[in-house]
Chain A
Amino acid sequence: MTRQAVDIREIRKSFGLEFNLGPVSLSIPRGAICALVGPNGAGKTTLMNLLMGIGRADGGTAELAGHDIRTEEVEVKRRTAYVSPDLSYRAWGSVGRAIDFVSGFYPDWNIDRCDRLLQSFGLHRGERIDTLSFGSRVKLATLFALSRDAELLLLDEPTAGLDPLARQQLFAELLKYMRSEDRTILISSHQLADLERFADHVAVMQAGQVIAFGSIPDLLERYVQLDVQLPHDAPVQSSVLRAISRQQDRACVLLDRQSSQRQSLEELGAEVISENPLTLEELFIALMKTGRTRWQPKLSAA
């Protein structure tokens, strides 16, 4: 059994001049809950779709649960569950018929768990899918993912359209799913406060690239916000400054402790007034505003 639940190497997809994904490389260890965050149009859904075989990548490779997504597609899908608001089950008419159809493909389908989730999510077998609200359709897709023992969950915006109570229920169900150590979740959402509590890793995407990846405590340790007084006489280059906000000679700066940025600032005469830790949401906003360069993964030798 490989240690990585998700191993993406240089995967890329071009959509003409408008948008290019990648090359993206990402390794998520088994047992991790990894949040995939980024602004709208960053490429999160495209990446998840490519991993799930919805669309073909132009290049690169990826393994999910130790199986190549191109050559072992069926095995990958047996071990992986995918939830997305884009998945439509309306063609099956009722909730019950959709469940009967989908469950037939999975020998590990757990009928008792499915019934419990139906009750928990407030869904009924006889309900017509086209009368369900948007949130309930997402719940139905989540039910399909959680009613079996998938090793890996790919969740694209599973909280979309859910009220706070339903969101709490969803995260409670996901935590139950994570009781087994071998299971892994890759979840994209804009609810960063929820993700900070729930996830242990985060990958930040911007314009089709992964710009930061790591365990959440490590990233929050690595990046801090500096309040700096800039020198009056010497202008500081914006590439050195990486200002989140600036008012005349005062600036809020995103500092990467692993870079020589602080030294560069001090050499230019900037005075650090205070150093403040960031929450995940603040770090996300700071990374978006400062447009960090692409994160380079350490690829292990084959």
Chain B
Amino acid sequence: MPLKESEAIVLRTYPMREADLLVTLFTRLEGKVRGVARSAKKSKRRFGGALEPLTYVRALYEDRERQELTRLDSCEVLESPLATEVTYARAVALGHVAELLDELLPDREANDAIFRLGLAVLGALRGPAIWMPVTYFELWLTRLTGFLPDLSECVACGRDLNGNRAYYHALADGLMCPDDKRLASSELSPESRLLAAQMFRAPIEKFAGELWPRERGADLRKFLLQILQRHLEKKLVTAGMLEKVSG
């Protein structure tokens, strides 16, 4: 079969046999693809640092007849997370992006919008600030995967929530007005809803210069993660680690 060439983001790798790596790539051409990088653990010649998670690469791979796993021929690094300092917070944020993409994307289904989102967020995660890129990524990913409910009306009665208080609950399908909120609901602040509206209208670069302490948009991130984890029916490993990141 002919070699395929595509831009890709490396999502994660697993050791396989003695010296091989099982690699999950998010390719622009075909979406999520799993393949084997032969001898990648032993010899760094062909792959170098290209198989580090969240490396943006140009990948050459070959599908094999009647085999699910592709054969990864080579990867050329286009941009590496190792080019700038990898702090603990940044490593957790990068891991979070990788885990969400890996868990949410179906195999072999191209999605250019999510690919471009991934690249934009990786660019924003070059620096030490993580909360803005993480918020932007979670918000847009929830929307692009079709899980984001309407933020402007109550899911129970349809009342307009603009200018009113809004609540969310792990078992509710969207935001609720004060009259319909469930027991132990949490509030999604008007500031965070405004932030979401702004993020839908502007590219990520527009928010780069703003001050983003951890508290800003924290309720929005919690709301989004609740939706995503409910859909995945599992807790995300990196979500717990993000909670512990300070600053």
To the question of whether A and B form a pair in one complex, the answer is no
Which A residues form the contact surface with B (CB < 8 A)? none
Which B residues form the contact surface with A (CB < 8 A)? none
